[in-house]
């Protein structure tokens, strides 16, 4: 009877995952959806602890260990998730994803140890699933850690000649070792298994290392779906339906989400993975290093043209996030609005380091939701706009995406800020953006530059406007 109750728990868990994901894809219901999925997860976890029986009908033991681990994990998890700055969210997601991958890999290691005490080749199916879970989980873990390091700046882009060849060779070695292990049982089977584990770590590292930092969201999303598949392997292993549904669900949804993200940047997944963004850009762009004349604008001039404008559109980018200038930005918006200026924000789908990054950031500063215009909407409004203020955005306003077929970002939809009467660009320096390409917009006649840290510049700008 108890086991049947567990089946119901798992069934409810699976349903909440599906409903939760569905609700998460609509702004109005998203928060509730997250809570529903969390509820289903809690049910499934405690159901497992108290009701699970193994094949011989024994209940689980080691309660103190289990609860100890859960308490430690919860405390660290809640603290980390609550303390983390809004700008560092992407890293955090990557970190948690890595933890899930590591968890799946550890399960596989323990189960392999169990299995090797019996006979490996008698249980080929199980062995293969264990290896799959181990390989995918490990790649996801190692990859996520690198992605985490890249996002917080402690790991730099790194690629060497023959990187792709190296990666392909590495994956082939892993596959052939796994096949060998499944087919032949020898005295060194255990050693081979650990070799596979270590190679998978290496593969995860070298898989993510060459990919440019700007593409990390896509990579994290991909690794996210990897972990989903690794979790599903666990579902196979224990014939556990909730792990299976949850894992596959995330695997499929994560893959689609990855593709959607790539589409938002108008690039193919392959293109992202091969990493042509990071390394090869300099060659393809070599000829057009024409550094034309750009003009600077003084704070007081900027203050004047903004406060006497009818309509100002602010284009936020990663620079805003780095400078933590979202509150100051909101303040500027309020002051301009008081002066009768119509202020809006134009949000490019991939502005910042993650899709939706800017929305989250501005929402944190209490910017009202209907001031945020998505790209299509914003593009219709630029021609009637007096001043566009670009805060630390670069590639998403680069006209090369429209005009220069040789440019690596060619074809990416951009914000047509050039349609506005004036463009003021706030950047820290003339250094190119994350994609490493020049931006002709900065040399346009309409454009004037306002150098400096976004927060400081905005504070000074506000002071200037107040004193007008």
Whole-angstrom Cα distance, residue 407 to residue 267? Answer: 12
Q: Is 202 in the site for another protein (CB under 8 A)?
A: no
Min separation Cβ 438 and another protein, Å: 26
Q: Residue 128 or residue 299: which is nearer to another protein going by CB? A: 128
* 108-137 residues near another protein, rule: CB under 8 A: 109-111, 113-114, 125
Residue closer to another protein, measured from CB, 255 or 439: 255
Interface with another protein includes 432 (CB under 8 A)?
Answer: no
Smaller CB distance to another protein: residue 127 or 281? 127
Q: Is 84 in the site for another protein (CB under 8 A)?
A: yes
Q: Which residues of 313-346 are buried (b: 16+ CB within 10 A; e: fewer)?
A: bbbbbbbbbbbbbbbbbbbbbebbeeeebbbbbb
Residue in 22, 282, 295, 456 binding another protein, rule: CB under 8 A: 22
The answer to whether residue 376 forms part of the interface with another protein (CB under 8 A) is no
Q: Which structure tokens are listed for 403?
A: 């005009």
Number of residues that bind another protein (CB under 8 A): 115
User: For tokens 């590495």, what's the residue?
Assistant: 170
Q: Does 103 bind another protein (CB under 8 A)?
A: yes
Is residue 395 annotated as a catalytic residue, yes or no? yes
**Whose Cβ is closer to another protein: residue 196's or residue 450's?**
196
The residue (of 310 and 368) whose beta carbon lies closer to another protein is 368
Question: Which residue in this structure is represented by tokens 């289990």?
Answer: 66
Q: By three-state DSSP, how is residue 264 classified?
A: helix
Rounded to whole angstroms, how far apart are CA atoms 387 and 447?
10
Spatial CA neighbour of 440 closest among 312, 313, 293:
293
Residues in the chain: 468
Q: Binding segment for another protein among 70-78, 160-168, 170-178, 411-419 (CB under 8 A)?
A: 70-78
Segment lying near another protein (by CB under 8 A), choices 175-183, 266-274, 302-310, 350-358: 350-358
Site string for another protein, 239-278 (x = CB under 8 A): xxxxxxxxxxxxxxxx-xx--xx--x--------------
With a CB cutoff of 8 Å and minimum separation 6, the contacts of 135 are: 174, 178, 196, 200
Only one of the segments 74-82, 205-213, 276-284, 413-421 lies at the binding site for another protein (rule: CB under 8 A); that segment is: 74-82
Q: Does 30 bind another protein (CB under 8 A)?
A: yes
Spatial distance between the Cα atoms of 344 and 238, rounded to a whole number of angstroms: 53
Could you give the angle at the alpha carbon of 208 between the alpha carbons of 202 and 210, nearest 5°? 105
Nearer to another protein, 416 or 438 (CB): 416
Find the binder of another protein among 51, 99, 181, 335 (CB under 8 A): 99
| DSSP string covering 15-36 | HHHHHHHHHHTSTTTHHHHHHH
Among 11, 12, 43, 92, binds another protein (CB under 8 A): 92
Residue 413 touching another protein (CB under 8 A): no
| Cα–Cα distance for residue pair 452/222, rounded to 1 Å | 35
Q: Which of 150, 357, 427, 455 binds another protein (CB under 8 A)?
A: 357
Q: Rounded to whole angstroms, how far apart are CA atoms 4 and 1? A: 5
Stretch that binds another protein, among 23-31, 290-298, 337-345, 378-386 (CB under 8 A): 23-31
d(C-alpha 45, C-alpha 50), whole Å:
9
Element (H, E) at 151: helix 124-151
Instruction: Report the distance separating Cα 451 and Cα 30, nearest Å.
Output: 38
Catalytic residue among 113, 122, 215, 395: 395
Residue 143 as a binder of another protein (CB under 8 A): the answer is no
Give yes or no for a contact between 151 and 232, defined as CB atoms under 8 angstroms apart. no
Residues 205-244 that bind another protein (CB under 8 A): 217, 220-221, 224-225, 227-228, 230-232, 234-244
Binding to another protein in span 42-61, by CB under 8 A: 44-45, 48-49, 52, 54, 59-61
Residue 49 in tokens: 């602890």
- Least distance from another protein to the Cβ atom of residue 115, Å: 12
Nearer CB in complex with another protein: 266/460 = 266
Specify whether the CB–CB gap between 344 and 371 falls below 8 A. yes
Written as six digits, the tokens of 21 are 């994901």
Closest to another protein by CB, 24 vs 170, is 24
- Indicate which residues carry an active-site annotation: 395
């Amino acid at each position: 009877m108890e086991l049947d109750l567990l089946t119901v728990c798992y069934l409810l868990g699976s349903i909440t995952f599906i409903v939760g994901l569905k609700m998460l894809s609509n702004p109005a219901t998203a928060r509730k959806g997250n809570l529903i999925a969390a509820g289903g997860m809690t049910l499934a976890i405690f159901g497992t602890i108290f009701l699970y029986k193994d094949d011989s009908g024994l209940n689980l033991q080691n309660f103190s260990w289990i609860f100890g681990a859960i308490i430690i994990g919860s405390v660290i998890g809640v603290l980390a998730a609550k303390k983390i700055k809004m700008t560092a969210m992407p890293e955090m997601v990557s970190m948690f994803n890595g933890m899930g991958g590591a968890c799946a890999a550890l399960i596989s290691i323990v189960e392999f140890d169990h299995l090797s005490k019996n006979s490996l080749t008698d249980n080929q199916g199980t062995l293969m699933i264990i290896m799959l879970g181990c390989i995918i989980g490990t790649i996801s873990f190692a990859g996520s850690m690198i992605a985490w390091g890249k996002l917080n700046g402690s790991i730099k882009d790194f690629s060497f000649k023959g990187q792709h060849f190296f990666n392909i060779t590495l994956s082939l070695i892993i596959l052939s070792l796994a096949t060998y292990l499944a087919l032949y049982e020898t005295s060194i089977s255990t050693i081979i298994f650990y070799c596979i584990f270590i190679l998978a770590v290496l593969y995860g590292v070298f898989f993510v290392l060459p990919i440019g930092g700007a593409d990390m969201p896509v990579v994290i999303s991909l690794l996210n779906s990897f972990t989903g598949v690794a979790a599903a392997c666990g579902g196979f292993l224990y014939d556990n339906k909730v792990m299976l549904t949850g894992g596959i669900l995330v695997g499929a949804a994560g893959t689609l989400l990855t593709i959607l993200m790539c589409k938002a940047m108008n690039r193919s997944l392959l293109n992202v993975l091969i990493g042509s963004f990071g390394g090869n850009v300099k060659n393809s762009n070599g000829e057009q290093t024409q550094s034309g004349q750009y003009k600077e604008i003084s704070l007081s001039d900027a203050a004047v043209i903004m406060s006497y404008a009818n309509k100002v559109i602010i284009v936020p980018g990663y620079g805003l996030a780095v400078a933590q200038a979202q509150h100051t930005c909101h303040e500027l918006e309020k002051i301009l609005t008081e002066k009768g200026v119509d202020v809006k924000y134009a949000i490019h789908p991939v502005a910042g380091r993650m899709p939706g990054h800017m929305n989250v950031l501005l929402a944190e500063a209490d910017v009202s939701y209907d001031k945020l215009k998505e790209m299509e909407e914003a593009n219709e409004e630029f021609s009637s706009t007096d001043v566009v203020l670009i805060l630390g955005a670069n590639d998403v306003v680069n006209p090369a995406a429209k005009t220069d077929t040789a440019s690596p970002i060619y074809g990416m939809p951009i914000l047509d800020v050039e349609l506005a009467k004036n463009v003021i660009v706030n950047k820290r320096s003339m250094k190119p953006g994350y994609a490493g390409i020049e931006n002709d917009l900065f040399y346009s006649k309409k454009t004037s530059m306002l150098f400096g840290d976004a927060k400081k510049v905005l504070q000074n700008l506000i002071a200037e406007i107040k004193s007008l």
